[in-house]
Amino acid sequence: MFYSLYGKFTQWMYKETDPSSLAVVRILFGILMMVDIIEERGGSDLDIRWGEPRDCHFPLFNQLQPLSFPYMSLLYGVMWLGALGVALGYKFRLSCLMFCLPYWYLFLLDKSYWNNHSYLYGLIGILLLCSSANNYWSIDSYFNNMQSNQSVPYWNYFLLKYQIFMLYFLAGLKKTDMEWLEGYSMNHLGMHWVFAPFKVVLTGEQIDYIIVHWFGFLLDLCVGFLFVYSKTRPVAMVFCSTFHLMNSRLFSIGMFPYVCLATMPIFCEFDWPKRCMNKVCRGIDMVSGENKATSGDKLATASRRSARSGIGFREKLVSGLILTYCGLQGFLPYSHFITKGYNNWTNGLYGYSWDMMIHSWDTVLVVVQVVDNLTGKEHFLDPGAWTQNNRWTKHADMTVQYAHCLKRNLLLELNDAQLLGEPKPITQYITSDNISIYVDVWCSLNGRLQQRMYDPNYDLLHAKWSVFEEAEWLLPLLSEYNDYRTTISGIQQHVYSWSNYTDVLFIADFPGLYLENYISPDLSNVSLTVLEGEVIYEDELKLGHVKLMKNERTFIPTGIFHKVHTVSSTPSCYIYTYLNKTRERLKEEDRPADWDNSMRSPFPLLEDRIHLAESAGRMFGFIANAILNVLYDVPMVRRTKID
């Protein structure tokens, strides 16, 4: 029974199909990747991303390290030429390898840049590498004298269809999370101009909840099935195209909307490009039309013949690999019970999980403290030092990598200072390699109260991290205060009613810990009000030392540090309210309701063509400079990162 079903599946996978639709996807994907390499892969900012050898990167495997700046530039050149070769269908296998190998190397080299769509691009690259997508509309087919009806096995289409189907379906399954369905994941999108037609009947909050959350959930969950059936496919095309064009304006997500648009036709009839060409070419006479029909009949006959015979060990092995790939792509998004080390407040690393837009973060404070264990001296570092983004702050595995990177760089600077015999600021607080590094991250997940994510007293240089074990220094999400999200809006509106320049900050903290905070002199009328638990307030000048119970309030002086200790047996919850004098003085107004007015075009590729040309010129300049550096030792010219 099993072998019979497996044999029928193999015959289905090897049914001969028209290659023209696959060729269109190949061409469009290659062109979009040429743009993506320049933009989102960082080709235009090669000097910023890879020019400083001491910058911290976050590889999936610690043994994986970046090449030197010149060779990283050359790698981008190889990857771009590979994408060009994919689009042209020239030496197709080699071009795919030239694109895929550097792409996956860059992907695995830094987890802080992982996204669902960057993972998708790598998968599509692999699927094209294994396919015969160069059988039509390609330089290879021209030089190899391939006929226009050169078929491809159906599995070339099946794998791409499966991957795109899973892209939507898994995103829909992930959106069954109550965080999404209750409308906490995405806020304040309803005021964007792309929702103008809905504003006639809905408020901004209703658009956020009904259109963004619920319609987005239903679209992701159902659109894959609508694509599969020919009768519902036009509906899916309309809704999906509108959805992706709107996303291209709402979010800065690079080529992702356009890759999705480019892959939609994979669900259409295999020969739709040829049919379109036949309708456009009105010079085709009836005789040539009959010949095409005959050609098509021959292809159909060959397809039926292939379904009956020619199935051997190789074909069955390929079918097994196809099933393995499909199973792996269905398993990885739910494999977090194995890879516990990557679980934080959310499961897994952002990328292969397909939890698109479900989690929104708001980080208000990141403290990086370095302690010399010999002298006891403390020093606070800029959390942006030697980093390209702040994604590392939300993942325990990356905080450990960052701590070790900081230690390495600090010791290198200390060594440089000792070799030069010149005092540097670093020698004032580090005297040896006997140091400790502590990180304190305050952030909010999906509109919750601000709270710390890690134990601030845990030395990350001695952290025991494993892929298969939860990080012991990760503090739990204070879910007992989730209900406050329903009252936060009311409290905010009440505070905002005091003045156009008042604001409020919601804080929650654990028993036995304290928040050390500095209030800028630009703020005035600052007060601290306890909502839950008990706290002790004290400042560095000993101007105040008071215990506050629930609903009690105290005013806080500005220009000095103060501490708020949580002394209750349960987590505390309190708010800061304040008046922003700088904003009042400058009479700044809030962003207009119809924001992003400069982005009216639904086609940013056309709107940003000047920027794209400048970015491409900059990347090719780096690549040319790298060639001269490798061949003639010409110095590499690069910019300095400005924070």
Query: Which residues form the catalytic set?
Result: 175
Length in residues, the chain: 643
Residues contacting residue 83 through CB under 8 Å, at least 6 positions apart: 30, 31, 33, 34, 37, 95, 99
CA distance 260 to 278: 26
CA dihedral 200→202→204→209, nearest 10 degrees, is -150
14 within 8 A of 156, measured Cβ to Cβ: no
Give, as one character, the DSSP assignment of residue 639.
Answer: -
From the list 381, 445, 447, 376, the residue with the least C-alpha distance to 409 is 381
CA distance 184 to 182: 6
Residues contacting residue 568 through CB under 8 Å, at least 6 positions apart: 511, 533, 534, 535
SS3 category, 340: helix
From the list 480, 469, 471, 399, the residue with the least C-alpha distance to 438 is 399
Give whole-number Cα distances, 73 to 52, 252, 635, in Å. 13, 24, 13
User: Which tokens is 268 given?
Assistant: 């259409």
CA distance 359 to 190: 18
From the list 262, 30, 35, the residue with the least C-alpha distance to 167 is 262
568 within 8 A of 533, measured Cβ to Cβ: yes
Residues contacting residue 588 through CB under 8 Å, at least 6 positions apart: none
SS3 category, 445: strand
Residues contacting residue 43 through CB under 8 Å, at least 6 positions apart: 37, 76, 80, 615, 616, 619, 622
